[in-house]
Amino acid sequence: MKTIINILLFGVFVLFPYAGNTQMISVSGVVKNYVSDGAIENASIYEAFSGIGTISNSNGYYHLLLKPGNQQLNISSPGFEKYSQEFRLTGDTIISVQLIPMNFGERETVADRDSDNLTDVQTAVKIQSEKENF
């Protein structure tokens, strides 16, 4: 009987901590409209490798619990361009995003006129500033 108790105690104090070693890490943030800076409700946020996902609340806030390692976060909402980001998750992380409306400006025309290579967001910022100058 004493041997069984010793084996159980050994299991509780030595083996169980290793079973709980798959710590989950928090990924959270806010999804906003790039043009109006308003929160985007019901945006779809999911991690591509695990398939874990959620939707944003009325304030644009979301929260996911993911395992450490390589992740690919995808954020989308009808009427907006999709956002995707790959990263290595090592600790609690905040990723806030401003989604660009699909009908926002003439980005291709502006990019053609410019000689420098701009990312979509930089192009959108440039378009916004040009519209303000008119």
Please give the pLDDT value at position 69: 94
Q: Which residues contact 5 (CB under 8 A, 6 or more apart)?
A: none
Please give the pLDDT value at position 104: 78
Alpha-carbon span 71 to 87, nearest angstrom: 5
Alpha-carbon span 48 to 50, nearest angstrom: 6
Q: What is the residue extent of each domain of the chain? A: 23-102, 104-134
Alpha-carbon span 8 to 4, nearest angstrom: 6
Number of Cβ within a 10 Å radius of residue 40: 24
Please give the pLDDT value at position 81: 95
Concatenated DSSP letters of 36-95: T--B-TT-EEEETTT--EEE--TTSEEEEEE-SEEEEEEEE-TTB--EEEEEEE-S-EE-
CA-based R_g, the chain, Å: 22
The domain made up of 23-102 has a fold known as: Immunoglobulin-like (2.60.40)
pLDDT in tens, the chain (134 residues): 666 665 665 555 555 545 555 699 999 999 999 999 999 999 999 999 999 999 999 999 999 999 999 999 999 999 999 999 999 999 999 999 999 999 876 554 444 444 444 444 444 444 444 444 44
Q: pTM for the whole thing?
A: 0.63
